[in-house]
Amino acid sequence: SLTLGIVGLPNVGKSTLFNALTRNDVLAANYPFATIEPNVGVVPLPDPRLDKLAEIFGSERIVPAVVSFVDIAGLVKGASEGAGLGNKFLANIREASAICQVIRVFDDPDVVHVDGRVDPGSDIETINTELILADLQTLEKALPRLEKEARVQKDRRPALEAAQAAKSVLDAGRTLFSAQAEVDTTELRELNLLTTKPFLYVFNADEGVLSDEARVKELRELVAPADAVFLDAKVEAELLELDEESARELLESIGQHEPGLHALARAGFHTLGLQTYLTAGPKEARAWTIRKGWTAPQAAGVIHTDFERGFIKAEVVSFDDLVGAGSMTAARAAGKVRMEGKDYVMADGDVVEFRFNV
Ligand code: GDP
């Protein structure tokens, strides 16, 4: 499933952040029948385009896209050796599509740091090392089998070669995600290795760090090209308790202009390789989540499987063209509304109406 697994050392603020992710009125209002697992937190993806659409179509409500995070508490040094609950945690990470590491950069003498000091670089290395060791174990188990298969089946050779290349990358202490140019990771898919997953970094910071541009830049560079989000987990939890005006004041007091959860939702969406298309009518203006590169019938299938099976065509207008024209009728008159067939590849921000047989 398309989720990010939250990992991090103890006492970095994972639970604090996760509590903020699970306290969510938007979801309860829009997905009343969804059963949400207790270890899954969901954040709406902020999208000002939906407000505009609701205005144009007179929609009663807005339904944003969402990003899901799974709480995978307790990854510590030694997890790959199966110490304590290690194996269960690694199995949970395996099910996530991307990994979201929370890193502590707040200073608080009352909160003990497991290694006795705040050192983001070393925290990242600790987690990477555990994941790398877990992948090496998987490879060491798989290699003898792959060697045997490659001896009798020519078409298994690329898989063996990819596994061997992966092993040398991991032996050098690097993640497979950072070595995509050298290793054909599509050949490794069957092994579901942990370090092939994209990473997103959340720096749990205090006001001092958040307002220190040089420090933020330095931390961004530490994890680049991965996305980095800076927030104060304690403040995020507090923001959800406040009305809009007080929330804005609290954010301003720490020099921020939006909740960190907004940035987290955008970064999570980006890390997962997702995009949205939009639908609108008098009932609702809504964003639908698809993968980049999906065709119109695949996109229709997100609304209902019948839409994919019975797909005839999609009536598509880009958001900007629609807003420029001012209404659907005006956009049609201006020739901005296109009829697209089953091979059409969706673009971000397409406003769509599907035609289908049932
Ligand atoms: P976890 O072990 O990673 O889940 O960490 P917790 O969320 O339980 O946080 C550990 C402790 O750090 C708790 O006492 C939190 O209140 C505190 N904490 C979490 N985030 C922050 C923060 O941004 N600033 C400060 N000062 N304390 C925090």
Q: Is residue 94 part of a domain?
A: no
Name the amino acid, one letter, at 34. Answer: A
Residue nearest to atom 10 of ligand 1 (CA): 11
* The ligand 1 atom nearest the CA atom of 19: 7
pLDDT at 180: 86
74-120 pLDDT, tens digit each: 555 555 565 544 677 788 888 899 999 999 998 777 776 766 677 89
Please give the pLDDT value at position 108: 74
- Determine, yes or no, domain membership for 7: no
Q: Report yes or no: 69 and 98 within 8 Å, Cβ to Cβ.
A: no
Is residue 172 in a domain? no
Alpha-carbon distances, residue 28 vs 24, 33, 37, 149, 280 (angstroms): 7, 9, 13, 50, 21
What's the whole-number mean pLDDT along residues 127-141? 92
Closest CA to 202 of 130, 266, 117, 110: 266
Residue 308 lies in a domain: yes
Domain containing 312: what range?
A: 293-356
Which of 6, 9, 16, 254 maximizes ligand 1 atoms within 8 Å of its Cβ, making it the mutation to test the pocket?
A: 16
Q: Is the CB of 19 under 6 A from ligand 1?
A: no
What's residue 75's pLDDT?
55
Q: Is 11 annotated as a binding residue?
A: yes
Q: How far is the CA of 104 from the centre of ligand 1 (A)?
A: 9
In a domain, 322, yes or no: yes
3-class DSSP state of 274: strand
* ipTM over cut 0.90: yes
- Report CA(216)–ligand 1 centroid distance (Å): 20
14 lines ligand 1 (CB under 6 A): yes
Please choose, from the candidates 106, 132, 128, 134, the residue with its C-alpha nearest in 3D space to the C-alpha of residue 119.
106
Residue 136 domain flag: no
Task: Find the 194 Cα to ligand 1 centroid distance in Å.
Answer: 26
- Per-residue pLDDT tens digits for 291-318: 999 999 999 999 998 888 999 999 999 9
List, as one string, the DSSP characters of 320-337. HHHHHHSSHHHHHHTT--
- Our count of domains for the chain comes to 1
Using one digit for the tens of pLDDT, what is the confidence trace for 210-249?
989 999 999 999 999 999 999 999 999 899 889 999 999 9
Q: Which of 109-113, 259-263, 284-288, 321-325 has the lowest mean pLDDT?
A: 109-113
pTM, whole model, 2 decimals? 0.87
Coil, helix or strand at residue 203? strand
* Mean pLDDT (whole number) for 201-206: 95
The average confidence (pLDDT) of the chain is 89
Would residue 337 count as lying in a domain? yes
Residue 116, pLDDT score: 67
For residue 259, the surrounding DSSP H or E stretch is none
pLDDT attached to residue 84: 42
3-state SS of 14-69? HHHHHHHHHCCHHHHHHCCCCCCCCCEEEEECCCHHHHHHHHHHCCCEEECCEEEE
Neighbour order of strands in the sheet with 284-291: 61-63, 284-291, 274-280, 350-356, 311-318, 338-340
Question: Quick one: average pLDDT of 13-27?
Answer: 78
Taking the alpha carbons at both ends of the chain, their separation in whole angstroms is: 28
pLDDT at 164: 97
CATH for 341:
3.10.20.30
Q: Which residues contact 6 (CB under 8 A, 6 or more apart)?
A: 14, 17, 18, 41, 69, 70, 71, 72, 100, 101, 102
Q: Which of 102-106, 112-116, 131-135, 352-356 has the lowest mean pLDDT?
A: 112-116
| Nearest in space to 102 (alpha carbons), one of 26, 41, 171, 38 | 41
> Does residue 167 form part of some domain?
no
